[in-house]
Amino acid sequence: MTSPEPAVLPAPPGRMPAFLHARVGGFPRSFWALWTGTLVNRTGAMVQPFLALFLSTTRGLSIAQAGLVVTVLGIGSLGAQVIGGALADRIGRRTTMTLATFATGGAMLALGYARGLPMIMAAALLLGLTMDMYRPASAAAVADIIDPADRPRAFAMLFWAINLGWAVAMVFGGMLADQGFLWLFWINAATCVLFGALVWRAVPESRPEPGADEGAPRGGFGEVLRDRVMVAYTLLFLAYVFTLMQGMTTMPLAMRELGLGPRDYGLAIAMNGVLIVLAQPLVGPWLARFDRGPVLALGFALTGVGYAATALATTVWGFVGTILLWTVGEIIASVSGQAIVADLARPHLRGRYSALWGMAWSGGFLLAPLGGTQLLGFGREVLWLTCGGIGVAAAAGVLALSPALRRRAAPPFSSK
């Protein structure tokens, strides 16, 4: 194991304008290697959005069977967070990310070539258990090498890379699906392997040396679960993710009730990615200067208000307006979300803390379609107003938790 790299490298004189350096400057090379790998990985992430369509057309599964497979994939994702977090703290960030991404590539191909419901479900579970396993290690690595003051900016840059890659994947995924769904599996597998190879080649191990966290009990997930602040924070984030994911799950169903089809939904939801790609690099560094708890609460509240306003939308442009509103909330929340986790975590448990937070995302992905469709059964207004209430309540919870978060904020690295 090696010691963490210096958190900040000075901007070479005359090489980078101050405006640009304030946004993307000062990060170590290993961070940019991780950023590049994340972008490559997300650019190839074409399988999951088209999986249900692949299963129902190419493999001939019923809608119910396809939904079951997708659910198994989501359940596996919950387990992946736990496994990935434990491995990140035990065997290291670099090794965990490399193993996870290589295993994901193999699981992608296994699912692409699986036939028959039992084999498809087994391959989906394997993919779920590997696909998100790298995430806790990636988040822990960023916390290891980036100064606490710069972590919001670093995590915001990763969020931007994820969304930029996702936008590219959606465009080319649809085109390649017309040529044959197996292209999606091969490209997704290849980008996973490329990510792993890049991590192994360019991201040094950053797990703290034994004894770096003096006096810390050598606990596991039990220690994390005894951290009441972290557990409360995770539950609040779960509520936020449940609200946020309605745009990817129940929104097309609600639009269909108004006579708006898939093309209308595609146009409207594309504005989410466009705004993130354009605005995130501009507002993220500015927001990173403020107290993280209130910033996160503002993001949660705007997300809730945006979804509540969807109850008034009846046209494509009405939906575009509300999507832009809750996307602003999503951008704001992305600045503080993972940085707060890094503040709360003890160095020897950063992987496990990131895993618990990641389970809020995996759990939200699972619960959003289940709860959202039930609410939609009572009417579109009930769905959107309930989501608005959940978002605002989560914001209030974060504000109540902010003093505890502030007390747990990590001090700067001694190298600064």
Interatomic CA distance for residues 210 and 257, integer angstroms = 58
Q: What SS3 state is found at 158?
A: helix
User: Is there a contact between 109 and 123 (Cβ–Cβ < 8 Å)?
Assistant: no
Tokens 């405006």 — which residue? 19
Q: Is 278 helix (H, G, I), strand (E, B) or coil?
A: helix
Q: Please identify which residue in the block is written with the tokens 């745009």.
A: 247
Rg of the Cα atoms in the chain: 21
What is the pLDDT at residue 165?
A: 87
Sort 278 into a burial class: Cβ within 10 Å, 0-12 / 13-18 / 19+. Answer: exposed
The alpha carbon torsion through 145, 146, 148, 150 (nearest 10 deg) reads 180
Q: Which residue has the tokens 């959005």?
A: 49
Residues of the chain with pLDDT under 70: 1-25, 210-219, 410-416
382 token code pair: 């009930």
261 burial via Cβ count (<10 Å: 0-12, 13-18, 19+): exposed
For residue 310, give the nearest of 300, 302, 322, 301 by alpha carbon.
322
Domain segments of the chain: what residues?
26-148+165-207, 221-411
Average pLDDT, the chain: 86
**Chain mean position to CA 180:** 28
Cβ atoms of 159 and 109 within 8 Å: the answer is: no
Cα 268 from Cα 266, distance rounded (Å)? 6
pLDDT for 40 equals 93
Indicate the helix (H) or strand (E) that contains 22: helix 18-24
The answer to whether residues 123 and 72 touch, using CB atoms and an 8 Å cutoff, is no
Neighbouring residues of 396: CB distance < 8 A, sequence distance ≥ 6: 297
Alpha carbon dihedral 19, 22, 25, 26, in 10-degree steps, equals: 150
In this prediction, residue 37 carries a pLDDT of 93
Please give the CATH topology (third level) of the domain spanning 26-148+165-207.
Growth Hormone; Chain: A; (1.20.1250)
| Whole-angstrom distance, CA of residue 301 vs CA of residue 305 | 6
DSSP 359-408: HHHHHHHHHHHHHHHHHHTT-HHHHHHHHHHHHHHHHHHHHHHHHHHHHT
**Angstrom distance (rounded) from CA 314 to CA 49:** 26
Residue 360: which of 380, 340, 375 has the closest Cα?
340
Reported as a single tens digit per residue, the pLDDT across 135-184 is 999 999 999 999 888 888 888 889 889 888 888 887 787 777 778 889 88
What is the sign of the dihedral through the CA atoms of 272, 164, 166 and 133? negative
Q: Which single residue is written with the structure tokens 């507002």?
A: 283
Q: Under CATH, which number does the domain 221-411 receive?
A: 1.20.1250.20
Position 2 scores a pLDDT of: 41
Residue 323 near residue 268 (C-beta atoms within 8 A): yes
Q: Is the dihedral of CA 342, 345, 349, 351 positive or negative?
A: negative
pTM, two decimals, is 0.84
Nearest residue to 339 via CA among 151, 68, 188: 151
| CB-based contact 361:280 (threshold 8 Å) | no
Please tell me if the domain spanning 26-148+165-207 has the same topology as the one spanning 221-411.
Answer: yes
Q: Are 33 and 87 in contact (CB under 8 A)?
A: no
